[in-house]
Amino acid sequence: MAFTLLAAYPLSTVANDSLDQVIAMISEKVEVDAPILKTQSQEIVTAEKMENNNGEANTKEVKEISVEDFMRNPGELDYELSPDGEYISFSSAWENRMNVYVQKMHGDGEPVRVSSSKDRDVAASFWKDNHILYLKDEGGDENFHLYSSSFNGQEERDLTPFPNVKVQLISRLSGIPNEILIGLNKADPTVFDVYKLNVKTGDMKLVAKNSGSIVSWLADHDGKIRIAIETDGVDSTVLYRATEEDDFKPFLQTNKSDEISPIAFSKDNQSIYALTNKGRDKMELVVFDLDAKEKLLYANPQVDVEDALYDKKKDALLATTYVTDKLHYVFFDKELENIFNYLKDELQVSESELILDDHNEDMTKFIVLVTSDKEFGTYYYYDSITKELTKLTELAPWLDRNAMADMQPISYTSRDGLTIHGYLTLPKNKKPEQLPLIVNPHGGPWARDTWGFNQEVQLLANRGYAVLQVNFRSSTGYGKAFTDAGNKQWGLKIQDDITDGVQWAIDQGIADPDRIGIYGASFGGYATLAGITFTPDLYAAAVDYVGVSNIFTLLDTIPPYWKTVRNDFYKRVGHPIDDKELLEAISPVFHVDKIKTPLFVAQGANDPRVNQAESDQIVEALQKRGVDVEYMLKENEGHGFRNEENRIEFYRAMIDFFDKNLK
């Protein structure tokens, strides 16, 4: 459930100048796995083939699962090993909020809760030496603060106690005791300066001042900031300096849609591993020397390389990932590949279902996650020396895996000849004929849908709906030409791709043309509103979740720390002055006279990305016309509902709304 206006596939640890990384709350940990190069199926899936895949002989009614069971907190998740591998941390519910717990890996000790948040879920947590650090905002404002906690939870401390300031993790500084590098926008709300923070004392020291256009930083293995990426929102420059006393100088130049995403320095700090599409269409894995000479390490001809895992002790990249219809892996390290294959065989899963979620510094102990389209997730602990494999927990064990529906990769050709990939989930044990269908455009739009467990999709399928997810043009992962094909196409060719997907499902006989719904969040919410505005006869019901109705007000209210990439918005969406007619033509709020589809709108009052005014405008305009519109506003939420009770209330209302209008 990605609600970001600028979302991305969540495997990335690289710092880059793409929009999704600029607004990243925290560098995600690497989730690396698997070997063989596979290609995405281009096959058109027919209703007949779907029927065969979906069990034509079994028409037994699937038991209805409650909204609460789908949407309540799933149990213990986000496991992470301490650096020495002796302890684990994880998130679990306390007082109806996700909090952080610590437990000794071996022995009979009970887990100890180390955070005490009652108002808001802890958003993320990680280890630094023997300290647990975690992130939390207030009411969805996304001004995340960094907290530390002792093992017994008696000494919680806000390490960044500054109002209206957001923290970013830049480096954990492996091997450097007690210190990490963070970014803060406390001096200037539009940019992040780099500080060295002592997590034990709370002392903080400025180590790199932002010139006003730097969007990401990279430290070397001595903890020195040596790489910075500056941008005007369109063209970017990778800056380099030999020492922190030197001035930054241009190292590599990009333009238009080029990206260079540094991953790590080599151990001698003389080479830089990176992902880049400079001079090519797809993101590829390369290494640069200090003269900016490039050596190719891995490329996939069909899709972008997504990520890579660097091991400091071996001073080498161990593996890389890419996503076609599913997640795949290429290993450069035989030892890690053997570990992965052993686990795959022991757990009897495919490569795309297995994630090496975390590891200790020696790469001998691992947290393993097994997940799929029908499996929410099961965590395991694995010691590669002793071969000990221990089940830690199963997420949402109350969900019957046998009642979950298959997510099938599909593709079709758009009206102007582009191949569009996506996923179709059919309700289990129902013939794929004349079904009510919900098309679910993803957020971003510079993001993509991926194969895996999706609570929203499974909930809808459990209620008898087919669900279509479309990686329309502007989606990431398929190369920059495909992403750029969506520039200034909000409500136009992007919307055509979504419409063409719906028509494909109708033409296959899968979808009932009189029972088509549309639901999306963030950009998906915009696509929902655009769908019922510009193709008003296609949809019988629509749900807009934190979506954009007026692109002028969206551009006028973006968070201050998006200032450095404002020009990229203008390039990809449109300029409020130069493209005034375009933005008026594609903003649904100016065309409410065309809307006749029943609409349900949900919004968080503290949303910093898509302000409350976006929903207020469209609701007020429609109510004046007497159009049927329901509005759910939550005062303690932001860009999507995180609090469990709000989440359950929203999805219960959404199901009731679709059932009323589509069944």
List residues with catalytic annotation.
522, 607, 639
- Determine contact, residues 36/326, Cβ cutoff 8 Å: no
Residue with tokens 């500084």: 173
Strand partners, 394: 378
CA distances to 347, 415, 472 from 139, rounded to whole Å, are: 40, 43, 32
- What's the sign of the alpha-carbon dihedral 506, 510, 513, 516? negative
Region for residue 327 given its phi and psi (left: phi exceeds 0; alpha: psi -120 to 50; beta: otherwise): beta
Angle at 135 between CA 129 and CA 141, to 5 degrees: 165
The rounded distance, in Å, linking the Cα atoms of 155 and 428 is 49
CA distances to 33, 393, 424 from 421, rounded to whole Å, are: 23, 34, 10
Helix H or strand E segment including 650: helix 644-662
Angle at 533 between CA 528 and CA 539, to 5 degrees: 60
Instruction: State phi, psi for 143 to the nearest 5 degrees.
Output: -85, 75
Closest-CA residue to 272 (of 328, 233, 213, 228): 228
Strand partners, 354: 370
Give the SS3 label for residue 104. strand
The rounded distance, in Å, linking the Cα atoms of 477 and 114 is 38
Angle at 104 between CA 103 and CA 110, to 5 degrees: 50
What separation, in Å, do the N-terminal and C-terminal C-alpha atoms of the chain show?
25
Query: What's the token pair of residue 555?
Result: 């551009």
- Determine contact, residues 617/549, Cβ cutoff 8 Å: yes
Query: What's the token pair of residue 17?
Result: 């100048």
Strand partners, 651: none
| Residue 409 burial (CB count, 10 A) | 17
Strand partners, 125: 134
Q: Give 164: exposed, middle or buried? Use CB within 10 Å, 0-12, 13-18, 19+.
A: exposed
Angle at 630 between CA 456 and CA 653, to 5 degrees: 35
